[in-house]
Amino acid sequence: MKSANCWAWPLALLTVLIAVAPALAVEPIIANRSGRVTEVAAAVGTLQVQTHARILNLLLTPETQVFLNNHTAQQAQIVVGDRVDVRYDFNTLEVIRLVIHRAFKTHGRILAAANNSVTLRQPRAPNITSQVNAATELKIEKTAVDSATLFLGLEAHAKLETISNLALRLDGHAPLAKGKLNTMNAATGAFTVDGGPLTNFMLHQQGRVTFFGRPVTLASLAPGDRLKVGYATVGNPTTALIIQASGGPKLLARGRITALGGATITVNTAAGPVVLSLSPATRVTGRKDDAGDLRVGDKVKAKYVPRGGLNTALKIVVRK
């Protein structure tokens, strides 16, 4: 009986240790480093990265996430010389996340443009053709466009993937004409501008229009809107690639919605009711994110501009 009691307390202690063992496990220490790959053997799961301070000998596991220029990639795509950002467990040296940066920058004039490629004439280097896909960011003067709008002769800056020459980003630079919208024919794309040396324009078939940075159509603009027109060729009319429109000074309306129309809302402010016109340029944020969800009684703060006899709402924040 005494012998049985001698074993009782060690068994009890062992039971307690087993129960608390998970809580005593070493917490991972996450480290982040940047450097270049000096050795890699994806098949056996080893990776060597030269950082600013030292060489890291790391382990690739099936759980390691790999990204190439912000796109999901495979461990087999890692090559010596890659510039990488690596997140790993300091205790086990297992890589949690590896981001590969393979890109270089160049510039030149657009020599040719198709649906899936763009050719640049570089100033002190041979012409370079880069591939374009749905992930490529294409812009002219900060306005998103597609490859059909990349007019020949435009100056452009490009960020290309080192190995494949895939275009990650291409920024076209067009001369800008400024003035106020005078007349406009949305059906044909023709419009005239006052206040500048160029007055007659025709919007390119794939041209883009924004109002205070929000995508709209040419029909959404109103006489008197201030325009910046990025154009490609001077003529009569001049071909417009992008239109960046803005109105007069922004005003603020705070209060509750007291009425809803087809494309208007009425806000009861301290100074009286204000009727706001909703358009494709109107952005709804806060407790709701769609103009169709607005209801009578909603408390809102709205930014708007008077234009064309209407108060065009730019942003409506729905509050508690």
pLDDT score of 74: 92
Per-residue b or e along 66-96, where b marks 16 or more CB atoms closer than 10 Å to that residue's CB: bebbeeebebeebeeebebebebbeeeebbb
For residues 144 and 84, give the distance between their C-alpha atoms in angstroms, rounded to a whole number. 29
For residues 134 and 132, give the distance between their C-alpha atoms in angstroms, rounded to a whole number. 7
State the amino acid at position 131 in one-letter form. Q
User: ∠ CA 242-179-151 to the nearest 5 degrees?
Assistant: 25
pLDDT score of 20: 53
Structure tokens at 300: 């809102």
pLDDT tens, N- to C-terminus, the chain (320 residues): 455 556 666 666 666 556 655 555 567 899 999 999 999 998 899 999 999 989 999 999 999 999 987 778 999 999 998 899 999 999 999 999 999 988 888 999 999 888 889 999 999 889 999 999 888 999 999 898 888 888 888 999 999 987 677 898 999 999 999 999 999 999 999 999 998 788 999 999 889 999 998 899 999 898 999 999 999 877 789 999 999 999 888 999 999 999 998 899 999 999 999 999 998 889 999 999 888 899 999 999 999 999 878 899 999 999 97
State the amino acid at position 120 in one-letter form. L
pLDDT score of 152: 82
- Which CA distances in Å does 13 have to 6, 9, 18, 29, 75? 12, 6, 9, 30, 45
- Number of residues that make up the chain: 320
Q: Check: CB of residue 109 under 8 Å from CB of residue 155.
A: yes
Contacts of 287 (CB under 8 A, 6+ apart): 318, 319, 320
Structure tokens at 188: 């044909």
Quick one: which of 221, 232, 218, 225 has its CA closest to 187?
218
Within 13 Å, how many C-alpha atoms sit on residue 52's CB side? Answer: 4
Domains of the chain (ranges; CATH) run 31-101 (2.40.50.320), 103-173 (2.40.50.140), 176-246 (2.40.50.320), 251-319 (2.40.50.320)
pLDDT score of 36: 93
